[in-house]
């Protein structure tokens, strides 16, 4: 099951990041570049780093120049995240390109990799919500509320994992068509963003 593998890798990547808990600590991906596991670990590492960038930019005392610095870094991180998701989709496209869809096969509302992207974010939410349930400086009401939220997130992770495995099985059996559209983000492209190309 791809979801079991992905969830284990996401949990490991999040744990590895929090050993040092530093945004600029270099990634030490334990998987060889040609493996799908490498891309899954990279994807979750990018998400984890960006999670902490998003915390930084929400500091109410942040200086405007620092906020701009974090905004630019978050923009780049979003681009890296999108690129990695598309690499994951490309991996599955190549792996299952010899499958002929059955008559009546349908296209899913999102690609396999974008569903896996949501699973990575869920792993992060679960990790941080679990920390909130253990906060010694928070009152019992906060801990109980976070415990209830954690239960919902855990159920969501289970349901999304099942859906991802079913989607992959449908693709393998020809019941769903593996079709991917590039995101074509425009804001980072100097030929597509009016502010960038008009400033030349």
Question: In this predicted model, what pLDDT tens digit does every residue of 45-83 receive, in sequence order?
Answer: 999 999 999 999 999 999 999 999 999 999 999 999 999
Residue 129 tokens read as: 């919500």
Enclosing domain of residue 122: 2-198
Handedness of CA 187, 193, 199, 200 (dihedral sign): positive
Which residues lie below 8 Å from residue 128, measured CB to CB, with a gap of 6+?
51
| pLDDT tens for each residue of 84-97 | 999 999 999 999 99
Alpha helices, H only, the chain = 2-20, 36-57, 64-95, 112-133, 140-172, 194-198
Distances (CA, A) of 136 to 5, 21, 131, 132, 195: 33, 20, 10, 9, 48
pLDDT at 187: 66
Element (H, E) at 106: strand 106-107
Residue 195 has pLDDT above 70, yes or no: no
Domain count, the chain: 1
Distances (CA, A) of 120 to 13, 34, 60, 98: 10, 20, 28, 28
């Amino acid at each position: 099951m791809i979801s079991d593998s992905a969830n284990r890798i996401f949990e490991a990547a999040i744990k590895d990041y929090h050993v040092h808990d530093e945004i600029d600590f270099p990634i030490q991906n334990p998987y060889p570049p040609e493996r799908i596991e490498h891309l899954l670990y990279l994807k979750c590492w990018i998400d984890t780093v960006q999670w902490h960038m998003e915390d930084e930019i929400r500091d109410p005392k942040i200086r405007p120049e620092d906020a701009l610095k974090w905004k630019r870094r978050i923009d780049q991180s979003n681009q890296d995240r999108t690129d990695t998701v598309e690499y994951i989709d490309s991996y599955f496209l190549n792996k299952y390109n010899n499958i002929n869809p059955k008559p009546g096969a349908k296209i899913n509302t999102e690609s396999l990799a974008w569903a896996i992207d949501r699973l990575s974010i869920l792993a992060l939410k679960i990790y941080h919500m679990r920390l909130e349930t253990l906060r010694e400086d928070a009152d019992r009401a906060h801990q109980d509320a976070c415990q209830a939220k954690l239960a919902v997130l855990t159920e969501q992770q289970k349901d999304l994992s099942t859906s991802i495995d079913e989607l992959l099985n449908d693709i393998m059996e020809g019941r769903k068509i593996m079709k991917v559209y590039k995101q074509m983000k425009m804001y980072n492209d100097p030929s597509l963003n009016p502010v960038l190309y008009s400033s030349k």
